[in-house]
Structure 1
Amino acid sequence: MVKQLRAARTRQALVLAAAEIFAADGYALSSLPAISRRAGVSAGALHFHFPSKDALAVEVESAARRSVEQLVAARRPSAASALHLLVMVTREVLVAIAADAVVRAGFKLSVDPSRKNGMGFGCWWRAWVCEELLRAQHAGELADGVSPDRVAAVIVAATVGFEVLGAQDRDRIAPWHVEEFWSLVLPRLAAHGELFAGMALSESWPRAKGAHNDRSSV
């Protein structure tokens, strides 16, 4: 039992260290020696848990996915609709990108051109967004002529873009960025346009107005 607990802690430390380095330096410039040093783990222990850098990257993406799945599960019961859930989750994802190296690295790795076997987390995120948009369409929440697949591409691009913008300065990632994004998108996307946008945003950002109005610090 003690050995199993120690092994789990070592693995967790390696995943966190790898996420921090992947998020900061990208996949190509990251190295296993640097990851083992940051984790305080020997090279032998690293290779025992992860035979390659790609294996570590895959685990980081899997951990990022689990974190976002937990966000979805936590928000789903209070969501009034599929579109409302999308608004809430994208806000929470932006907060996670700023605060959680694993989620931040997951998004970074998903679009890193140096990864031959990447896109696992990115593909899952796009599939989830598209699934919620399809649910919204079936429920009559989307305006006529709106393509769930095309809108999903826009939402995914925006999410990744927020990560890129905040890569060097995490203070540039703020919840009101998503609020502004949705305030522009929802009136064209939702069947009830401005009415739905106002309801969804007010329910999702009850404390954001002050931050939204004070942009001098951003």
Structure 2
Amino acid sequence: MSRTRSVDARQRLLISARRRFAADGPLTPTLDELRRDADVSVGALYHHFPDKQALAAAVFAQLIGEFQEGFVRTLHRTATAEAGIRGGVKYHLRWIVEHKSEAALLLGDRIDSPELQKANRDFFGAVGDWWRPHHAYGLVGPMEPGVTAALWLGPAQEYSRYWITGATTKIPSRTVETFATAAWAALKTQTQE
């Protein structure tokens, strides 16, 4: 099998799994259903993914990577620490609305993989690079990844878990502003008041 054909098979499997997992959850479709939907051979399936867990982990890493890339782009478009903190929350909630079905996968159980670990290292490195100058100027405290992430996006993520189970198609702008304001209040240094 050529490298191009092999990559195509892997990509088709990821597209199929991502669509089916978003629609039905990762437990419902069988590996054979995903293989048939992707129109790949049994050999190609097992060449790329030895089991459904590996395929689910690859989908999870792909989704989180896309989210993280957009988050970092959002930070780089901001001029101030406050705009970045608020923009990160707004980006998170906008992404949830735009990817409601897929967001349910990301907000569920984390599926670890080497790809996810690399995506997270790259993401936290990029966020740290953005954070450091703001910390150096005394605008925000030191970045402690777990604490900072929980204060920055934790409330918005918890709200997102609630929101995706409902039938609404939008998150009210006042709700988005509430979470953006709360994140800035939690992360700015006390001298910013």
Asked if TM exceeds 0.5, the reply is: yes
Distance 1:181 1:104 in 2: 18
* Structure 2 counterpart of 1:161, one-letter code: E
SS in 1 for 2:164: coil
Aligned partners of 1:16 and 1:175: how far apart in 2?
31
Distance 1:106 1:32 in 2: 17
- 1:124 and 2:120 matched: yes
One-letter amino acid of the counterpart of residue 12, structure 1: Q
1:58-77 counterparts in 2 under 5 A? 58-77=57-76
- The 1:101–1:40 alpha-carbon spacing in structure 2 relative to 1, beyond 3 Å, is farther
Q: CA deviation at 1:157?
A: 2.6
What RMSD, in angstroms, separates the aligned Cα atoms of the two structures?
Answer: 4.0
For each residue in 1:97-116, what CA deviation from the matched residue of structure 2 results, as whole angstroms up to 9, or x when unmatched?
Answer: 333479626623xx417x5x
The total of aligned residue pairs comes to 186
Q: 1:161 aligns with which of 158, 168, 172?
A: 158
Partners of 1:118 and 1:79 in 2: how far apart?
Answer: 31
* Structure 1: 5+ residue stretches without partners: 194-218
Closer/same/farther in 2, CA of residues 129 and 179 from structure 1, 3 Å limit: farther
Looking at structure 2, the residues matched to 92 and 56 of structure 1 have their Cα atoms a distance apart, in angstroms, of 27
CA offsets 1:148-186 (integer angstroms, 9 cap, x no match): 753421334334324423434474453724322112342
- Aligned partners of 1:36 and 1:45: how far apart in 2? 9
**Alignment partner, residue 15 of structure 2:** 16
Q: Which has the higher contact order (CA 8 A, sep 6+)?
A: 2
CA–CA distance in structure 1, aligned partners of residues 167 and 37 of structure 2: 21
Q: Distance in 1 between matches of 2:170 and 2:25?
A: 19
Consecutive unaligned residues of structure 2, counting only runs of 5 or more, are none
1:134 Cα deviation (Å)?
Answer: 5.9
Q: Distance in 2 between matches of 1:155 and 1:178?
A: 13
Shift of residue 18 of structure 1?
1.7
The equivalent residue for 1:107 is 106
TM-score, normalised to structure 2's length? 0.67
Residue identity (%) = 22
- The 5-angstrom pairing of residues 45-64 of structure 1 reads 45-64=44-63
**Secondary structure at 1:61's aligned position in 2?**
helix
The C-alpha deviation readout for 1:7-58, integer Å capped at 9, x for no partner, is 3333222212222333344444453133234434444432232111222122
